[in-house]
Amino acid sequence: MSINRFKKTTGFGTGLAMLLAASPVFAQDAGSPTDGQVMYAIERDSGELMRYHFDSQTLTNVGMISGPASASMTGIDASAHIPGHQNIYGFWTDPSDGQTKLLYIDCETAAASVLGAPLGAGVMTGATSVKTPEGGWVFPNPDGSQPILDEFDHTIFAIHEVEAQASSGDHDHAAGGCTPASGTININPNNSPHNEFTVALPGGESFNRDDLHDKNVQLSEGGVFYSGAAESVWVKPKGNGNQNTLTHNGEVYPLENGKTYLITGDDMDISVYNDHIHNNGKAMGHWWVSIDGGCVVIEEENEQAVQALQTQLVGLYQVNHKTGQTRHLMALSRSYDGLATTDGGTFLATSGNDIYAIDPANQSEVLVGTSGLDRTMGLEFLGSTLMGFENVNDRIVAVDALTGQPLGAGMAVGLSEVGSIIFTDAPSDPMNVPDSYD
C-alpha cells in the first residue's frame, strides 16, 4: 500500500440535563437548543466553509477559504466568531513557512485575508470567543511583562501547539539489546506531538495516528491498515493496568501505560489493525500493533520527561483579534483538539477520547471524563450545551460538560473532516450582517 507522510497543517449551567437525549431531539422538537440556530463549520481537508441552518435543515457551501497569496487554505482546526461581526477569525498554518497566521474569513464569500504578523511556528488546535468581563480578566502575570489584551468587548482564546519529533537520543535506556521480540500492543490514541503513534517504514515513508483516523482510510480483511516491514514503532500503550503481551529475548517485557516506547529492528515485521469495523467500513474499535522480529531493540521514555517537554510545546493563549498579538496564559501538559468556554474562566477541550477542564487562573488541567467519541475536533458551546463534531461517524454530538458523556447518538448534517465549528442564532447570522468588521 502507499502511505503518505502526514503533516499537521492537526460552572456550565444546569441546562445540560435537558439536552438532545437522542438524535431525533436534534431535529425540530420544541425546546431543542438548535432551534433558530445556524452553524458554520470549516472542513479541514478541503478548506471549505460550510453553513448549516438547523430549522430548514439546509447545508450551504459558502466557498473555498482562500486569499490573495493562497488558492486554498486547508488544515484549519481553530476558529472563533464575535457576535455582530460578519467575519470568522480562523487560525491557519501557512505551508510555505510553517507559521500560524490569523485570518479574517468573510462569511458571505469565504474570502480570507491575513491579519498582522505570524503568531509563530506550529498550529492552533482550538479556539473560542467569550464576552470580556467588566474590569478585564484576572490571569497570572507576576512580572507584568505580558501584554494585557482586555480592551475589547469579546476575547478570543486559542491553544497553540508546536510539533516535536521523537528521536532515540531522547530516551532513558535500551532494554536487552538486539534480541528477538514479538507480541501485540493496544495503541493509545493520544495525539500529542511527543506521544503520537508513529511508524517509520523502509525507504523513508511513515504513517501515524492521524493516518489511522483518516475517514477515507482503506482497510483490508480483518481491519488491517498496514502489514509488512518496519524500521521503527513509536508507541504509548493503552489499557486497564499495565500490558504484558510483548516478549523480548524470550521473556515477558512489562510495558507500562505511563511510558512511551521506541521499538526498532533490522528485520522487524508489524501489523497495524483495528479490532472492530462498522458495516459502513469505518474503524470503530481499538487500534493494535503486532510486532515480530529477530533483532529488536526497545527503548523507553517515562511520562515525566514527556510532560516536561510538552510544557514547552503546547499552551493556552489570549489573542488580540485586531493585531494578532498574543498573551501566553499557561503551559499545557498534553495535546488538545477544540476549545470551548461559557465564561472564560474554565475551558473544555478534548484529548483523544477524554475531555479536560482547563483553568488558567489556577494553572490546572482536570479530567472531566471519557466520552467514547473519537476525533472530536470541532468543539463549542451552544448556549449551555457543549457540542462537538465527531469525525469518525461524521456527526454533530451533544456532550454532557459535567461528565464528558455523549447525550444521544448525534446527528449527521452532511459534513466531514470538520476542524472547527461556531454557532449563532439566525437573526445574528454573520451572512446577514454585511460589512460589519472589527
Q: Please write the tens of the pLDDT for every residue from 299-333.
A: 887 555 555 444 447 889 999 888 888 888 888 88
**What does the pLDDT read at residue 436?**
53
State the amino acid at position 192 in one-letter form. Answer: S
Alpha-carbon distance 78 to 49, whole Å? 13
Question: What are 109's three cell numbers?
Answer: 464569500
**What does the pLDDT read at residue 173?**
38
Q: Are 268 and 296 in contact (CB under 8 A)?
A: yes
**What does the pLDDT read at residue 145?**
54
Helix (H), strand (E) at residue 64: strand 58-64
Alpha-carbon distance 339 to 350, whole Å? 8
Number of neighbouring beta carbons within 10 Å of residue 146: 15
State the residue for C-alpha cell 462537538. Answer: 388
SS (H, E, C) 303-369: HHHHHHHHCCCEEEEEECCCCCCEEEEEECCCCCEEEEECCCCCEEEEECCEEEEEECCCCEEEEEE
Q: Is 98 exposed, middle or buried (0-12, 13-18, 19+ CB in 10 A)?
A: middle
Residue 397 pairs with which residues in a beta bridge?
Answer: 388
How many Å separate Cα 244 from the centre of its chain?
30
CATH class of residue range 15-163+313-432? mainly beta
pTM comes to 0.65
Q: What is the DSSP letter of 432?
A: G
Domain boundaries of the chain, sorted by first residue: 15-163+313-432, 168-303
**What does the pLDDT read at residue 78?**
94
Q: Smallest Cα–Cα separation from 399: which of 391, 409, 170, 28? A: 409
Q: Smallest Cα–Cα separation from 408: which of 41, 98, 33? A: 33
**What does the pLDDT read at residue 303?**
53
Q: Are 128 and 380 in contact (CB under 8 A)?
A: yes
Intervals of the chain under pLDDT 50 = 1-29, 142-143, 164-176, 241, 308-312, 437
